[in-house]
Amino acid sequence: MNAKLIVSPESTEGWIREGVLAAKESILIAAPYVGRVLWDLLLTRPRSLPTTLITSLRIGDVLGGASDIQAIYELSQNHVRVQSISNLHAKLYIVDQAKVLITSANPTQNGWRNNLEMGLALHSSEIARRALQILQAAKPYRWTSSQLKRYADWAAVQPKVVSKPWIVPVELLYKDFGGWLGLVMRAVAQLPEEFTLTEVYQLALPQAAQEYPNNHHPRDKIRQQLQGLRDLGLLEFVTPGRYRRLKVDLMDFLR
């Protein structure tokens, strides 16, 4: 198995562009931060080509400018499956489940064109398979286009500079996000700082029955949204079935 050193700003974007243009089966990109450069590149691929983006969508990263939530939303509109893992730090590009680039470079302007970044590219279906298994074992949360649109719209009207600590509690967000995520946010906002899954069910299930009477697996949907709140940085999983609300102080990201 031969590996090739790939360096930014010289060759990272070129390797990825070549892979996208040659892809026949699938593309997967996993990176905590995403910029407009990825949207520009993925526009060159056939819309029917299965493409997945796994990223981190923590509120602090989005409002601090590390990730472009509008570009991520537009990718979802362009048939890119968007998922999130709250503690993702790896940067991984996989083409056709065999061509692999493991690198320090995020798909951002800095990661591809400005910073000194290094990675190794290789051809190995076994490493690709194992990497995909690790990502799926983290149970990434699936974002719909409508959720990402609400997130992007909300982020667009938030202040970028503040002069005092700015805390974002979950109770200030549920009206903007709506849908299942907003429904669970609304339930969590009524609970103590630390709470159980049973308590979430008690509040959320009656509301879900009214808003989504044709959904026959509301408990599964509620658990999925709790994962989404964790990936936003608003919730901590304490022990199985027990959670803690987090109030995110964004000053560190916005200074």
In 3D space, the residue among 248, 247, 226 whose CA is nearest the CA of residue 237 turns out to be: 226
The whole-number pLDDT of residue 157 equals 86
The whole-number pLDDT of residue 163 equals 45
The whole-number pLDDT of residue 78 equals 94
The whole-number pLDDT of residue 42 equals 95
The whole-number pLDDT of residue 82 equals 98
- Give start-end residues of each CATH 3.30.870.10 domain in the chain: 3-143
Which CATH code fits 159-254?
1.10.10.10
The whole-number pLDDT of residue 126 equals 97
Instruction: Kindly provide the residue ranges of all beta strands, DSSP E only, lying in the chain, ordered along the sequence.
Output: 3-8, 27-30, 51-55, 80-84, 91-95, 99-103, 117-123, 141-143, 167-168, 194-196, 235-239, 242-245, 248-249
List of the chain residues with pLDDT < 70: 1, 160-176, 248-255
3-state SS, residue 18: helix
The whole-number pLDDT of residue 92 equals 98
The whole-number pLDDT of residue 218 equals 95
- Give start-end residues of each CATH 1.10.10.10 domain in the chain: 159-254
Name the pTM for this structure: 0.83
Which CATH code fits 3-143?
3.30.870.10
